Amino acid sequence: VRQMMKTADIVIENFRPGVLEEWGLDPKSLQKDNPDLIYARISGYGQTGPYAKKPGFASACEAISGFRYVNGYPGQTPVRPNLSLGDTVSGLHAVIGILMSLRVKDHKNKKGEAGGQVVDIALYESMFNLLEAVIPEYQGAGVVRQPSGTTVTGIVPTNTYQCADEKYIVIGGNGDSIFKRLMAAIGRPDLASLAKYSTNADRVIYEREIDDLISNWCLQTPLDGVMSILEAHRIPCGPVYNAADILDDKHFQYRELFETVEINGESLTIPAIMPKLDATPGNTAWPGPEIGSHTDEILSSIGIDTATIEQLKTSGVVTDTV
């Protein structure tokens, strides 16, 4: 590992904080031989602090971050999306930190300085970073944002509504001019000019009343009809899709959001590479090899001879099979 790190640009690890220090593979040790090494560390609670040594699964970190508290319905158990958001969002934060560090390294290298540094990613901090104005609201106004079901606190109307065919649509009509168009779309233009609905602040007071109007209208028409009417009035809206809906959607297909790869002789559809770059677009050239397939190639590239590689395999340090 030390030998590989001598020529590496970036190393990413997610061991419990302190483990790699015990092994002598911590940033300070490796940067002695490679002062330009960017060392990304992903853990539950970060490398320092009283919680650093705690086990850090995404679920627990989403909870302590404050993210779970605002999800669900008032007075009920907080809910989680059926995804491991903490892991995904932390991965994105790691990418951002690494790219920032690479830019810093380039700048320092031009001045003849070493450019290595540590990128310390904590799962709970990545989720905390999604909380928008939750902290200023509390610190500045003493308001603890509460869960609000399918709505967003202080924004009216924005909600999820059931249609006649039992499909769901999300409608965002909280802009003042959009609200007027929305009322026309649902056949109630008379409500658009009422003083009590004139601004978002006014509409917040009558949230239930407004939501009931929109909900009752949606229940009379299938999803496609609701979408058609709303889009004709330029109302922001979107159907609630599942995986089958996504694969069948013409816009997803036109934007080429899917790729097909072959795994063990069978084709598999996967998400395409995003974001899209016009000059250097990404694509999945191959789905990856079996674990250990490149052991010889990697070790040879850093100067380890064939006999030593075989010794490492025999002793169990490395393997080319799993």
What was the pLDDT predicted at 322?
62
Whether residue 174 is predicted with pLDDT greater than 80 in this model: the reply is yes
**Residue 11, phi then psi, degrees to nearest 5:** -125, 140
Active site residue 165: no
pLDDT tens-digit readout, 257-295: 999 999 988 999 999 999 999 999 999 988 888 888 899
Q: What is the pLDDT of residue 239?
A: 98
What's the distance, CA 211 to chain centroid?
Answer: 29
In this structure, which long-range contacts are made by residues 131-134, counting pairs with CB atoms below 8 Å and at least 24 apart in sequence? 131/65, 131/66, 131/67, 131/70, 134/66, 134/70
Chain-centroid distance of CA 9 in Å reads 25
Whole-structure pTM value: 0.91
pLDDT digits (tens, 9 = 90+) for 24-70: 999 999 999 999 999 999 999 999 999 999 999 999 999 999 999 99
Give the pLDDT mean for 205-223: 98
> Angle, to 10 degrees, between the axis of helix 176-185 and the axis of helix 223-232?
130
Q: What is the Cα–Cα distance from 157 to 207, expressed in whole angstroms? A: 7
Instruction: Tell me the average pLDDT of the chain.
Output: 96
Catalytic residue among 87, 202, 249, 320: 87
Q: For the stretch 246-257, what's the b/e string if a residue is b when 16 or more beta carbons lie within 10 angstroms of its beta carbon? A: eeeeeebeeeeb
Cβ atoms within 10 Å of 157's Cβ, excluding its own: 24
Domains and CATH numbers, the chain: 2-128 (3.40.50.10540), 158-240 (3.30.1540.10)
The C-alpha atoms of residue 11 and residue 83 are separated, in whole angstroms, by 26
Sign of CA dihedral 120, 123, 125, 126: positive
- Please report, rounded to a whole number, the percentage of residues in the chain having pLDDT higher than 70: 99
Peptide bond between residue 35 and the one before it cis (omega within 30 degrees of 0): no
